[in-house]
Every structure is written in structure tokens, then in C-alpha cells.
């Protein structure tokens, strides 16, 4: 059985983003129950030279919407990156999931060889679609979602592997 580019991207992004949304809800409940200012969680980081929690969520959503858009041959939408609360971060996740759910397999399937060009500062790098998805987009997405999870866990939010993975649907 072959896996399509669509199946390797959009359902993965939406599932994990929905799980991240549920984790944010647990973080909000944790902060409220312990009388912790949610800004403490939003601005927390694992190490001084790493991005804070809010930025981790922003990059994860940017990676997901960017990858799906690029694989479909579209320009990714731009977000403001101005979320300053857990509800605002959750709204960003929800907006990204809704955007991703608008893609169809026919828009993304067959993009294995589509040239994906990424611009970084003053240089451009191009990759075939399959290489980009498997070696850049998915690893980057999981890095930032995992780091967001780790920041919350490090701050005492009672989450675990099942929260990260979410429910698995049986065959």
C-alpha cells in the first residue's frame, strides 16, 4: 500500500494540532486551579536561547499551514504572531486546523516532485515536495509541538504521552 502526500501531511498536522489544543485547555485549567498567571506559561522557555511557549505554537501552526499550502502550489496565509493568551493561541490553532481541513487530496497528491522553494533571510533553497515534507516540514512541526508540550510539562501541567498522541482510531 502506498501513502499519499495528502495522507502524510494534512491528517497528521490536524490531528496533532487538535491534540495541542486540548493540551492548551489543560494548561488553562492548571493555571486557574493554582492561581498562576497564564502569562507565566506563555512566556516560559526551556532554555534562555530557545523560543518561549507562544512562539513554539506559532511556528508549529506556521509550519503546518505552510507545508500544506506549498505542497498544493499555493502561497501560505500570513498570521500576525501577536497572540498573548492561551485562548488566543488556541484560536490560532483552530484557525489553522480549519484552513487545513479545506484542502483536498487532489490538491496535494502528486506533489512529490513539485519544487518547494523556501526563503530564509537573503537566500532561497529548493527541494522536491516529498523531500521537503519528510525532511523539513514534518520534523520542524514535531520539534515545535514537542517543545511546546515540554515547556508546559516542565512547568507542572499534568499532561502525558496520551495527551500528545491523542486518541488512536482503531482500523
- CA geometry: angle 140, 145, 150, nearest 5 deg: 125
Residue-level pLDDT at 169: 79
Residue-level pLDDT at 171: 63
User: pLDDT digit of tens for each residue in the chain (171 aa)?
Assistant: 588 999 999 999 999 999 999 999 999 999 999 999 999 999 999 999 999 999 999 999 999 999 999 999 999 999 999 999 999 999 999 999 999 999 999 999 999 999 999 988 889 999 999 999 999 999 999 999 999 999 999 999 999 999 999 988 776
DSSP-assigned letters across all residues of 100-153: HHT--HHHHTT-TTSEEEEEETTEEEEEEHHHHIIIIIHHHHHHHHHHHHHHHH
Residue-level pLDDT at 161: 96
- Give the whole-angstrom CA distance, residue 38 versus residue 162: 23
Domain annotation for the chain: domains and CATH numbers: 10-161 (1.20.120.450)
CB 94 within 8 A of CB 79: no
DSSP-assigned letters across all residues of 2-42: ---TTTTTHHHHHHHHHHHHHHHHHHHHHHHHTT--HHHHH
Largest Cα–Cα distance in the chain?
Answer: 52
Amino acid at each position: 500500500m502506498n501513502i499519499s502526500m495528502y495522507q502524510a501531511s494534512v491528517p497528521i498536522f490536524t490531528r496533532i494540532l487538535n491534540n495541542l489544543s486540548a493540551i492548551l485547555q489543560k494548561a488553562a485549567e492548571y493555571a486557574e486551579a493554582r492561581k498562576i498567571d497564564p502569562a507565566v506559561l506563555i512566556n516560559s522557555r526551556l532554555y534562555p536561547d530557545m523560543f518561549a511557549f507562544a512562539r513554539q505554537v506559532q511556528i508549529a501552526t506556521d509550519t503546518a499551514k505552510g507545508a500544506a499550502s506549498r505542497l498544493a502550489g499555493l502561497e501560505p496565509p500570513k498570521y500576525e504572531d501577536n497572540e498573548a493568551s492561551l485562548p488566543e493561541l488556541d484560536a490560532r490553532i483552530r484557525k489553522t486546523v480549519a484552513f487545513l481541513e479545506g484542502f483536498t487530496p487532489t490538491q496535494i497528491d502528486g506533489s512529490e516532485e513539485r519544487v518547494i522553494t523556501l526563503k530564509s533571510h537573503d537566500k532561497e533553497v529548493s527541494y522536491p515536495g516529498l523531500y521537503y515534507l519528510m525532511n523539513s516540514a514534518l520534523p520542524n512541526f514535531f520539534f515545535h509541538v514537542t517543545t511546546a508540550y515540554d515547556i508546559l510539562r516542565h512547568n507542572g501541567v499534568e499532561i502525558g504521552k496520551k495527551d500528545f498522541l491523542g486518541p488512536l482510531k482503531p482500523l
